[in-house]
Structure 1
Amino acid sequence: MPNGAETKARVESYLLARIPFVSIRTVERARVLDVLGELTREKQLDVLVHTLSQGLRDLRTRTVISEDKSLLSALDLAGEWFQTRSNLTIVFTDVQHLSDDNDISRRFADLAALAEDHGGCIVIITSDPVWSTLQRMGMSVRLDLPDFDEMHQAIREFLRPYTTDIRIEWSPADYEQAASILAGVTKTEALNILATFVVKKEITTADLVELSRAKDSIFSELSGIERVQLRPGDYEVGGLAGLKHWLDRKRDLLTMDLRDRGIRAPRGVLLVGVPGCGKSLSAKTIASDWQLPLYRLDMGSVLGAYVGQSEKRMREALATADTVAPCVLWIDEIEKGLAGSGTDSTGVTTRLVGQFLYWLQESRARVFVVATANDVRSLPQELLRSGRFDDMFFVDLPEPDERREIISIYLRKYLRTAVEPALVDELVRISEGFAGSDIQSAVTEICHEAIRIGDDNVGEDYYLKCFRNVVPLARSAPEKVEEIRQLRDRAIPASGRTRVAADQPAASRRVVLG
């Protein structure tokens, strides 16, 4: 059952049972008033509503009962009416400071006792907790943000009157994708975004991308994770064909309704391997290609100096990610924050691991996690268990054909003149052992010279010199590269090449497809 319908059913039962005090926890006051308005008309209930802007008014007829807008005055009037009118319900919408024992809380407790004696009912709409003594005098219900079904219905109902006046290109699948994108915002915010499309006199499939951007602007100041600004067309990864093919097959599943299959949307990937070979760039490329906002969670910054601070920061960060979904969450060098589980004396790392694993396993928000690690051996083994990430890929130093692709990408991006194929062949040969970042560094140096003297004036010798001057990690620290490469058999090759299963004798090892 959609959460709005479930909340309506519970509130209806409380009002008909004449529960003296009902608190409705929500950030959507208007949505609750719509629910109460429907119940008032359907059940012929006597309901008054108090707001600081309009005072007391009848919810069904909308007539003003009292123009005195103060809360204290409304409480006094409510006390008088409960003694003279039976089965009266009064709704208070702008109440603060009810979370502890104070004068306002006690006034409401006295009013609730009076309501109980005369068959009355007080309804509080609030986003804050309620003083426990007051709450125990009645019942509480929570109205969460619209779920997929309710958002889907709200979008269709909002656009239905415009179908004859404007051009709406959305197919049923597009309506579902729109509902998926708008999950996490209030109904009012969602309809306001759609209203900006209506004024254009047309709604196209391209507006689905605008939906994501509009939603992202609402949450741009949320704490916990950092918004990464992406420049369109600025991200292209060379090589990694296996990872790219895997991502192409997962893309549409992120916004599809998969509930009838009983599965969740793709959860994400863990990228491990040699530094500088495109792990972090892959996160940016995925977000850019999928046209989703990219957020970065820095595991190092999560760690705090005070007791409970780290856990609080992690909880806030993950809650923020759920709120801004669908999105890509990039966790760079995840081992920095989650390494050492079970070895730190304070137990902070163990609790962070538990928090993260629970969220990774149980959250149904459409957050696609791209986590990178240079050394997976320092990570807790429970993080690597099947069912956490969808897959783990190993990103190795690029092979000749991959280096050719990477070199071509940067030459095309940074220079304004074509490079002869023979020269590219030589650069591929020289760059044996280079990571993608090494190639970028060499081509950047060529670009600097091209800016200084002109692209056509840069000789082939300078191209070769820039590449020969690079000392890659494979030459400066070959033992480190080989140490990292010991992890290759634990992950799928991101290159898409076949690998040899490490658990078979050399003469009889089978080929495993990545």
Structure 2
Amino acid sequence: MSFRDDLALTLRARFPILYVESFEEQRVLAEISMVAGSGEQVRTVRAVHAWSTTSGVVTQNGAPASGTTDPRAALEWFRRNQEPSLLVMRDLHAFLGDDRRPADPALVRTLRDLASELQAGAVARTLILVSPVLRIPPELDKDITLLDFPLPTEAEIRAVLDGMIAANAGGGRIAIGVDAVGRERLAKAALGLTLNEATNAFARAMVNNGDLGVDDVHSIMEEKRQTVRKAGLLEFASVDIDLDDVGGLQNLKRWLYKRNGSWLAEALEYGVSAPKGVLMTGVPGCGKSLTAKAIAAAWELPLVRMDIGKVFAGLVGSSEQNMRTAIRTAEATAPCVLWIDEIEKGFSGLGSGDSGTSTRVFGSFLTWMQEKTAPVFVIATANKVDALPPEFLRKGRFDEIFFVDLPTAAERRDIWELHLTKRLRDNKAAGLAITPELLDSLADITEGYTGAEIEQAVIAGLFDAFSERRQMTGVDLRRAVATMVPLSVTQAEQISAIRGWAADRAVAATSAEDRAGYTTAASAAPAEPTGPDGSGPQLKLVPSDPTTRGGRTVDF
């Protein structure tokens, strides 16, 4: 039911006091005036008067009612006004108390008396409170009815965008470089903003470089960043990588590329709904968090990070409210990517010693995951997925569960190339020729190493070069590899357990053809350098059955 329909229904039913939580006062007033003045919707046309602490009561014809700046005086004025009418009070929340001070008892009593009078009165009158925050004293719980006022729809935001384009495109003031699809992308990017915020975002995009294009989605993201920061429970993560910057994981990448743009209207023509999200589990340091960031960049969506610890922080009893606020913020930022890193640390050990708070919070999150319609793509990562409750893993919460294993030879080659190219770009350590032979050699000696360990090997080689103020060499890299004990050795049992869990419960993030031909890395212990020059270990590669690696073999 729309806000107009809901408002009309409550007015016809003579509800005495309504409460609308919204920052958009003018938009709320416009909607109220439209409904109150429509004889078809409310049958009895009502005059709309407005009150604020600065101007007091201003009647529908614009005349001020003297001596009504005090809220109790304004309510008394409304009590005497015996015509079909509405009084919209915009600042009353400031008098209704908060966590630090109670509400004015005389004002509360006045509101309770007025509620009884309006409900039983012969004249159709209703008091409507409009506030950016929800403050209802317990004494008024049964007298006040809440009305949801949604944020602007895509059509409303599109109308604002089209109006701004029409107003600024003439005379060559602003170059317009967006077609119908581009305008849709810009409008969808602004979903979750108020009309004023959307107007500011579009204006910022236009004046940034004198034109408006699809790339200006990033300017709109900046406005959303402000919204997320003000909420305080989510973090707007900066992204400077793409999926191409993630080595390997071709199966996962294909799955993600096929779903790019699935939140646009074009997808509806194919009967496609926006994906819910993915859960990525696997060996630590193999690119799960990096992939989460890359997805947002590839899809040109904001990346919002939820810290479960912040949800459970604060006063006793506030965790449930924190989760609801975090969910509302994420939906207000939609379409977006919601990233929850190491989710098992936040939701493991539910209900132990906290009076069931964590269980209730987890239940709220699960229900939202199941029922959500907003295009919020949830990407959760977990290193110990067996610590998660089983109901979290069932179909309907996530579209797919992916297992990220230790990188194969081909993936290690890509990872070496990515990090060497990135680190040796235009600096004094550059000079090492990144040849196919070098990459193949480095990939061979790092069987069983994670992507994070390969990156650290490159960094260690750079430190060796820096200490002697010279260019980095292949010897530096081989020495760094030889002196590092990989995770596949120090946590061989844990990795084996993760693979066992994922064997028939998750889809392998690496394509099947890239997995064949190399041993599982836990069997390859690091070797010492073969000589004083640090020429590096020579690890023997043994063919292996690809089914020994974790994850179901499913290619997308």
State how many pairs are aligned.
498
Q: 1:410 offset after TM fit, Å?
A: 1.0
Distance between the aligned counterparts of 2:499 and 2:48, measured in 1? 70
Question: Is the partner of 1:107 in helix, strand or coil?
Answer: helix
Taking the TM superposition and a 5 Å limit, the aligned residue runs for 1:331-410 are 331-340=340-349, 347-410=356-419
Give 2:92's aligned amino acid: V
Q: Is the 8 A contact 2:151 2:192 kept in 1?
A: yes
How many angstroms apart in 2 are the aligned matches of 1:91 and 1:145? 19
Structure 1 residue 362: Cα displacement: 1.4
CA drift at 1:278 = 0.9
1:376-428 Cα offsets, whole Å, 9 max, x none, are 22222222211211111111111111111111111111122342523333222
Q: Tell me what 1:284 maps to.
A: 293
- Aligned match of 1:206: 215
More deviation, 131-140/163-172 = 131-140
State the TM-score, normalized to the length of structure 2: 0.78
Match in the other structure for 2:458 = 443
The match for 1:121 among 122, 125, 141 is 125
Give yes or no for the alignment of 1:55 onto 2:56: yes
Change in 2 beyond 3 A, CA 1:117/1:429: closer
Distance 1:482 1:78, change over 3 A: closer
Alignment of 1:133-152 (within 5 A): 140-152=146-158
The answer to whether the 8 Å contact 1:250/1:266 transfers is yes
Task: Indicate yes or no: 2:231 matched with 1:222.
Answer: yes
1:488 aligns with 503
> By how many angstroms is 1:164 displaced?
4.0
Aligned equivalent of 2:203, options 187, 195, 203: 195
The alpha carbon displacement at 1:283 in A equals: 1.4
**Distance in 2 separating the partners of 1:257 and 1:303:** 39
SS in structure 1 of the partner of residue 229 of structure 2: coil
Alignment partner of 1:230: what SS? Answer: coil
Counterpart residue number, 1:108: 111
Which residue of 10, 14, 24 corresponds with 1:28? 24
Q: Mean Cα displacement is larger for which, 121-130 or 483-492? A: 121-130
Question: CA 1:198 to 1:475, structure 2 compared with 1: closer, same or farther past 3 Å?
Answer: closer
- Determine if the alignment matches structure 1 residue 272 to structure 2 residue 257: no
Q: 1:460 to 1:101 in 2, by over 3 A?
A: closer
- Unpaired runs of 5+ residues, structure 1, are none
Query: What displacement does 1:445 show?
Result: 0.8
- Asked if structure 1 preserves the Cα contact closer than 8 Å seen for 2:286 and 2:407, the reply is yes
> In 2, are the aligned partners of 1:339 and 1:349 still within 8 Å (CA)?
no
1:392–1:491 CA contact under 8 A, matched in 2: yes
- Identify if the C-alpha distance between structure 1 residues 310 and 257 changes in structure 2 by more than 3 Å, giving closer, same or farther: farther
Would you say 1:473 and 2:487 are equivalent positions?
yes
Report the counterpart of residue 185 of structure 2 in structure 1.
177
Q: Tell me the C-alpha RMSD between the 2 structures.
A: 3.5
The aligned counterpart of 1:77 is: 77
Deviation at residue 139 of structure 1 after TM alignment: 5.6
Cα drift, residue 476 of structure 1: 3.0
CA offset at residue 29 of structure 1? Answer: 1.4
Question: Structure 1, residues 314-339: CA drift from partner, whole Å, max 9, x if none?
Answer: 44433332333332222222222223
Report the equivalent of 1:186.
194
1: CA distance, partners of 2:417 / 2:204: 42
The one of 439, 453, 466 equivalent to 1:424 is: 439
The equivalences for 1:288-299 within 5 A come to 288-299=297-308
CA distance in 2, matches of 1:305, 1:27: 25
Which residue identity does 1:426 align to in structure 2?
A: S
Taking a change above 3 Å as real, the CA distance of residues 153 and 424 of structure 1, as seen in their structure-2 partners, is same
CA distance, structure 2, for counterparts of residue 42 and residue 463 of structure 1: 77
CA shift, 1:238, in A, is: 0.9
Query: Secondary structure in 1 aligned to 2:460?
Result: helix
Alignment partners' CA distance in 1, 2:310 and 2:64: 53
Q: Once the two structures are aligned, what percentage of the paired residues are identical?
A: 33
Distance 1:133 1:512, change over 3 A: closer
Q: Secondary structure at the match of 1:75?
A: helix
Q: What letter corresponds to residue 202 of structure 1 in structure 2?
A: D
User: Aligned partners of 1:181, 1:310: CA distance in 2, in Å?
Assistant: 29
Partner of 1:461: 475
> Which secondary structure state, in structure 2, belongs to the residue aligned with residue 370 of structure 1?
strand
Q: Residue 354 of structure 1: SS of its match in structure 2?
A: helix
Counterpart of 2:480, as a letter, is C
Distance in 1 between the 2:136 and 2:321 partners?
22
State the alpha-carbon separation in 2 of the partners of residues 13 and 511 from structure 1. Answer: 55
Q: Distance in 1 between matches of 2:505 and 2:113?
A: 66
What SS does structure 2 have at the residue aligned with 1:288?
helix
Distance 1:88 1:300, change over 3 A: closer
After the TM superposition, which of the residue ranges 235-244 and 126-135 deviates more from structure 2? Answer: 126-135
- Among 91, 95, 115, the alignment partner of 2:92 is 95
Is 2:343–2:381's contact at 8 Å kept on the other side of the alignment?
yes
